[in-house]
Amino acid sequence: MKKIKLAFVLTLATLSLLWSLADPLVVQGNTFFALRTIVVDYSGVLAMGVMSVAMILALRPAALEPLLGGMDKSYRLHKWLGIGGLSIGVVHWLWAKGTKWAVGWGWLDKPARGPRPEQTVDIFRFFQEQRGLAESIGEWAFYAFAVLAAIALIKRFPYRRFVQTHRVMAAVYLALVLHGVVLLPFSYWGTPLGIVMGMLMAAGSYAAVRSLAGRIGRGRRASGEVERVVHHAGNDVLEVGLRLATPWPGHQAGQFAFVTFDEREGAHPFTISSAWAGDGRMSFMIKPLGDYTCKLPGSVRVGDPVRVEGPYGRFDFSGAQPRQIWVAGGIGITPFVARMQARLGEGGAAPVDLFYSTSAPDEGFIARLRELAARAKVKLHVLVSPRDGRLDADGICHAVPDWKQAGVWFCGPAGFGQSLRDTLGARGLEDGRFHQELFEMR
């Protein structure tokens, strides 16, 4: 989480610093209107900058995963940047439009302004002639952006509708780029700010075009068919085994992939629940948490075509600590199943305690989990919350007396993970030893 916060703050700070170097910040004449010019220019730079970075992250660049700590962290940063862009955009819109409304209502007197200096650069002269059009395009693009952002943030909208409408965001971004290029003060273009903004908007536009063309992640795709379908009725988990027919680069335990069972629905992210053996086989455990996943048990059949994109994520299990503690809440058991499978072929692996908390146990699934844990030399603690109560830091510390010497890996409900992180941190666990999957794509 610290890396995400640092990246977010660093983006805003860098844009602010470059803007302060490019703008003289001179207040002349009417103080309010001079201040308005400064705020509109500054907010415009910030909004366009953070939206450009968000658009670049939408490409799912695997090269940035080591810097941010995984694709799940990249998506969280993408979300924060989108919210930040919307918030700053509201400020930009209010100062730009609100002042015009105040003048129209007679609340403010617009100061007299002489003729604009004649532009000697042809491209700047052309931009100056298009200011009115660019303002209108930006205004309506902002309205569209606000609506699409609301759809993305309100979880009641089905995931399929979110994906469909979110792709339109790329077209809205391109309209905002046109708005920004035309209205960015001409004096900025010859400064480091102008160079950086030009690069960001060019890279963001490239990402937007790839998104509109449906080419994001195309180079990381493999296709195959469904080979096995098992429904664990007790905990309502669907286990789907695939066999890929095209090359797959392999994956590590803890990584995830975007899986497409239905082209009309599109790709959904699922954690891979099997270790890679090089035979083209992989499996996923899917919990019905939304409208689409609730329908999967009745729609996925053996032999159905499937497409997989990935692998993504850096929820790896490397660490210098002599012991590891794994904590899984519900379907969060998935990456740990994959890791236990990978441990079968490893010698001298660190001792592990796995805490699996579930409110809906499936006896068959738990029996298989116990067998796998025994073979992988993992000490399994199964807690059924209606019977054993809620798992907490006290229970973990009591069961593992030397927990301060361990690294902790958590996958499950975000609130549960944050509470566990805070409590263990307050008791002396270093923050760098707590690893948490932020598996939330919207």
DSSP secondary structure string for all residues of 134-166: HHHHHHHHHHHHHHHHHHHH-TTS-HHHHHHHH
Same domain, 294 and 409: no
Residue 348's pLDDT band (cuts 50, 70, 90): low
Q: How many other CB atoms sit within 10 Å of the CB of residue 61?
A: 14
Number of domains present in the structure of the chain = 3
Same domain, 288 and 145: no
178 φ, ψ (degrees, to nearest 5):
-60, -45
At 204, list the tokens: 């963001």
Domain membership of residue 317 (yes or no) is no
| Residue 125 scores a pLDDT above 80 | no
d(CA 18, CA 197): 10
Residues 327, 78, 263, 206: is their CA dihedral positive or negative? negative
Domain membership of residue 27 (yes or no) is yes
- pLDDT at res. 119: 67
Same domain, 67 and 126: yes
Same domain, 39 and 111: yes
- CATH of residue 237: 2.40.30.10
CA–centroid distance for 29 within its chain: 45
- CATH of residue 391: 3.40.50.80
| Residue 259 scores a pLDDT above 70 | yes
Average pLDDT, whole number, for the chain?
Answer: 89
Same domain, 168 and 252: no
Domain membership of residue 169 (yes or no) is yes
> How are beta strands 406-411 and 323-329 bridged, if at all?
parallel
Domain membership of residue 442 (yes or no) is no
Same domain, 32 and 160: yes
Instruction: Select from 264, 286, 312 the last residue of a domain.
Output: 312
If we measure between CA atoms, which residue out of 360, 402, 359, 358 comes closest to residue 380? 358
Same domain, 208 and 224: no
d(CA 440, CA 442): 6
As a whole number, mean pLDDT of residues 105-115 equals 76
CB 57 within 8 A of CB 78: yes
CB 214 within 8 A of CB 170: no
Residues 277-323: tens digit of each pLDDT? 899 999 999 888 777 788 888 889 999 999 999 999 888 888 778 89
- pLDDT at res. 24: 79
Which one-letter DSSP state was computed for residue 404? Answer: G
The residues pairing with 384 across neighbouring beta strands, listed in sequence order, are 358
Same domain, 94 and 18: yes
Instruction: Select from 181, 212, 243 the last residue of a domain.
Output: 212
3-class DSSP assignment, residue 218: helix
- pLDDT at res. 77: 94
| Residue 230 scores a pLDDT above 80 | yes
Same domain, 142 and 205: yes
The residues pairing with 398 across neighbouring beta strands, listed in sequence order, are none
Residues 186-206: tens digit of each pLDDT? 889 999 999 999 999 999 999
Domain membership of residue 318 (yes or no) is no
Domain membership of residue 441 (yes or no) is no
d(CA 441, CA 197): 27
Same domain, 299 and 195: no
Cis (ω within 30 of 0) for the bond into 311? Answer: yes
The residues pairing with 257 across neighbouring beta strands, listed in sequence order, are 270
Domain membership of residue 145 (yes or no) is yes
Give the pTM.
0.86
Instruction: Select from 287, 312, 337 the last residue of a domain.
Output: 312
Domain membership of residue 30 (yes or no) is yes
At 409, list the tokens: 């890996």
Same domain, 337 and 266: no
Long-range contacts of 129-138 (CB under 8 A, 24+ apart): 130/182, 131/182, 131/183, 133/182, 134/178, 134/179, 134/182, 134/183, 135/96, 135/179, 135/183, 137/175, 137/178, 137/179, 138/175, 138/176, 138/179, 138/180, 138/183
Q: For residue 140, what are the contacts with CB-CB under 8 A and spacing of at least 6? A: 175
> How are beta strands 352-358 and 434-436 bridged, if at all?
unpaired
Identify the helix (H) or strand (E) that includes residue 211.
helix 192-212
Q: How many other CB atoms sit within 10 Å of the CB of residue 426?
A: 9
The DSSP line for 32-87 is HHHHHHHHHHHHHHHHHHHHHHHHHHTT--GGGHHHHTSHHHHHHHHHHHHHHHHH
- CATH of residue 169: 1.20.120
CB 150 within 8 A of CB 108: no
Instruction: List the domain range (segments joined by +) for residue 304.
Output: 220-312
Residues 59-99: tens digit of each pLDDT? 999 888 888 888 888 989 999 999 999 999 999 999 999 88
